[in-house]
Structure 1
């Protein structure tokens, strides 16, 4: 089994075909709706000491995909992301440890600190002479903190869309 000590310091790139930027929100407070973004980039620099590593990522909000064209269209609208005026969501790390990834998340022009729980999945040589590493990261945000306030009250109490949204990253890096 590999450890963080097996990561070669330097620049790594995200392999988008083997990575997922996903989210989960509750609908009517009884079911979960999952979605993802299909277009994203990240600059990852692994430091000589892992704690010296940095991450800077950009997600194209228009690439949202939840399995429903109507819902995706609503998420892109001014009610939620307002992609015409706010095309990207960004993250810039402020602290990296073996267990956490802290940084500033910006959605719809609002920047807030977030902490991801970080899990290292390993490092491996690939068949093409390269080196790959895997990470998972999860956090939960309150969407209202980022100006995503649209909602509808439902009969009997509750709302159509939960305020809390889980963000799940499954990332494969390639040594540049």
Structure 2
């Protein structure tokens, strides 16, 4: 964050800049290697209240079919067997609580829906940047992550999968958002 920018100056409605946002994941495979991937299609936004961050909110919708791991066979299996995109095309997150934990750090708690199952999760976010773009629009950046147990959402296939793919999945967020006029 710019040293001259105050948190209170960031208040407003924001929309995700999907061209500059990455929503990724990392999972251990056969406990020796890591599979990295990302989702390429998503939309979302936030209301930021710089004077009272607890009044802030976040919403995110991810197109499950957009999962990419750079392995077409694995991607097809993730879409069909693991995420069941035909019956559950979206993964969603809707915040229920925002807590400021440091000068530029926040815990965002909310409902994560995957395969029709909703569980509460908390994402640790850090405000990573603030700037005006060449068009004069205010942009903010946040980085965050959390580790989930995919079994809590029924993201599993069979017993062999449990032995080959770790239940723990690291979700990574590198977010850019543009304040709306």
Indicate the TM-score class for this superposition, using the shorter chain for normalisation: over 0.9
Q: 1:4 to 1:20 in 2, by over 3 A?
A: farther
Q: Which residue of 2 aligns with 1:23?
A: 25
Stretches (4+) displaced over 4 A: none
Q: Which residue of 2 aligns with 1:163?
A: 167
Query: Which residue of 1 is the match for residue 127 of structure 2?
Result: 120
Please report how far the alpha carbon of residue 7 of structure 1 lies from its aligned counterpart in structure 2 after TM superposition: 4.2
Shift of 1:14: 0.5
Correspondence for 2:103 = none
Q: Select the structure that is richer in helix.
A: 2
Instruction: Return the alpha-carbon distance in structure 2 between the equivalents of residues 65 and 143 of structure 1.
Output: 17
Residues 40 and 7 of structure 1: CA distance in aligned 2, closer, same or farther (over 3 Å): farther
2:111 equivalent in structure 1: 104
TM-score, scaled relative to structure 1: 0.92
CA distance in 2, matches of 1:4, 1:137: 21
Q: Which runs of 5+ in 1 are unaligned?
A: none
- Does 2:59 correspond to 1:53? no
Task: Give, in whole Å, the separation in 2 of the partners of 1:151 and 1:166.
Answer: 21
Q: State which of 81, 84, 102 in structure 2 corresponds to 1:82.
A: 84
Per-residue CA distance 1:35-56 (angstroms, 9 max, x = gap): 0000011121112422210001
Provide the aligned length of Structure 1 versus Structure 2.
172
C-alpha displacement at 1:153, in angstroms? 3.5
For residue 151 of structure 1, report the CA deviation from its aligned partner: 4.2
Q: CA RMSD in A?
A: 1.6
Unpaired segments ≥5 residues, structure 2: 101-105
Does residue 136 of structure 1 match 2:143?
yes
